[in-house]
């Protein structure tokens, strides 16, 4: 099914400040089948792990969890006006690039294991896929895993305090742009973190309000 998708923004606990940030991005039309509920199989983490039958998750459902998504043009990221608007609106002042594959990363297996350990951050996590592909897994309000498949052109924002993890898929390669508000912060807090301030704030926002659609042009 073809969906018409606008950007979603969640205030309060999903924002970096008390003020509401409003911004506009262009509407895009595409088939969104990049998120689904996962099975509990212990097979290779790089496999899709669909339920049987498959159960996809919509952009609206992701937005209710505070997860934001944009579809951009990765071939022109250095001069992309849409990306610049997003960065300015949300205060993403720092940027770097990461090539993640066995040939380019020292202690690759150990790092991938760390990425796949369930954790939270005190700040939101912003990743823009420029090449390759991989999976971000997030917990929903019922503590079920949702797998989000990111490919070249996908920009995803995970709110502070959400339990999540990351792995490559069977392509074994992804090139990511990492964005931060101010200085980069790399600290991961492995589960359980129910008393962490970011986790408490996330739960408070999750139970208090849903994602609010932002009008686009």
**Considering the domain boundaries, does residue 100 fall inside one?**
yes
pLDDT tier at 24, thresholds 50, 70, 90: very low
Q: Are 21 and 90 in contact (CB under 8 A)?
A: yes
**Considering the domain boundaries, does residue 11 fall inside one?**
no
Which pTM does this prediction carry? 0.82
Task: Report how many domains make up the chain.
Answer: 1
Of the candidates 178, 193, 186, 167, the residue with the CA atom closest to the CA atom of residue 115: 167
Q: What is the pLDDT of residues 128-181, one digit of tens each?
A: 999 999 999 999 999 999 999 999 999 999 999 999 999 999 999 999 999 999
Copy the structure tokens of residue 178.
């990492």
Angle at 13 between CA 174 and CA 18, to 5 degrees: 115
Does 119 count as an annotated binding residue? Answer: yes
Residue 215 has pLDDT above 60, yes or no: no
**Considering the domain boundaries, does residue 40 fall inside one?**
no
**Considering the domain boundaries, does residue 26 fall inside one?**
no
- Per-residue model confidence (pLDDT) at position 210: 44
CB atoms within 10 A of CB 155: 22
**Considering the domain boundaries, does residue 179 fall inside one?**
yes
- Per-residue model confidence (pLDDT) at position 7: 42
- Per-residue model confidence (pLDDT) at position 8: 39
**Considering the domain boundaries, does residue 25 fall inside one?**
no
- Per-residue model confidence (pLDDT) at position 31: 60
Structural domain including 132 reads: 46-209
Residue 23 has pLDDT above 70, yes or no: no
Q: What is the pLDDT of residues 48-82, one digit of tens each?
A: 999 999 999 999 999 999 999 999 999 999 999 99
**Considering the domain boundaries, does residue 92 fall inside one?**
yes
Check which CATH number belongs to the domain holding 63 and give it.
2.60.120.10
Does 18 count as an annotated binding residue? Answer: no
Over residues 113-140, the mean pLDDT reads: 97
Q: What is the pLDDT of residues 178-212, one digit of tens each?
A: 999 988 988 999 999 999 999 999 999 988 654 43
CA atoms lying within 13 Å on the CB side of residue 97: 9
Q: Are 86 and 70 in contact (CB under 8 A)?
A: yes
**Considering the domain boundaries, does residue 19 fall inside one?**
no
């Amino acid at each position: 099914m073809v969906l018409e998708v606008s950007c979603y923004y969640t205030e309060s606990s999903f924002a970096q400040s008390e003020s509401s940030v409003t911004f506009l991005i262009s509407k895009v039309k595409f088939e969104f089948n990049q998120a689904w509920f996962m099975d509990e199989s212990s097979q290779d983490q790089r496999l899709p792990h669909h339920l049987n039958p498959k159960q996809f998750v919509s952009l609206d459902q992701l937005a209710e969890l505070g997860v934001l998504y944009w579809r951009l043009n990765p071939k022109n990221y250095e001069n992309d006006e849409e990306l610049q608007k997003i960065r300015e609106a949300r205060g993403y002042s720092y940027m770097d690039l990461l090539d993640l594959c066995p040939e380019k990363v020292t202690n690759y297996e150990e790092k991938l294991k760390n990425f796949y350990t369930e954790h939270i951050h005190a700040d939101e996590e912003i990743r823009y896929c420029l090449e390759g592909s991989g999976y971000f897994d997030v917990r929903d309000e019922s503590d079920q895993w949702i797998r989000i498949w990111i490919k070249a052109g996908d920009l995803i924002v995970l709110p502070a305090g959400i339990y999540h993890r990351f792995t490559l898929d069977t392509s074994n390669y992804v090139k990511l742009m990492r964005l931060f508000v101010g200085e980069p912060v790399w600290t991961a807090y492995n589960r359980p973190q129910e008393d962490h301030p970011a986790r408490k704030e996330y739960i408070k926002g999750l139970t208090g309000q849903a994602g609010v659609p932002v009008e686009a042009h």
